[in-house]
Amino acid sequence: MKKTNIHYDKKYDILYFVLKSGSADYAEEIDPFVTVEYDKNNKPIGIEIFKASEILGKKFIDKPLQVSPASA
């Protein structure tokens, strides 16, 4: 299973999950602060969380982000 890439932009307080590589064809706002990006095949390729430290908590954002593949 592939590892999900996570990026945090501290300046703009945006947390971005890269689900798969590729360019976004369109995006859908599923919450005022959460956007999902889709490729041309309507498959999600990324998730953006705006105001991430406010939504997820400052303690979560300040920790080093580590992602482990989910076990089957």
Entry pTM: 0.75
**CA–CA dist 42, 59 (Å, integer):** 34
- Give the residue extent of every domain in the chain: 5-58
Rounding to the nearest 10 degrees, give the CA dihedral for residues 51, 55, 57, 60.
Answer: -80
Helices in the chain by DSSP H: which ranges? Answer: 52-56, 58-62
pLDDT tens-digit map of 1-49:
566 688 989 899 999 999 999 999 999 999 999 999 999 999 999 999 9
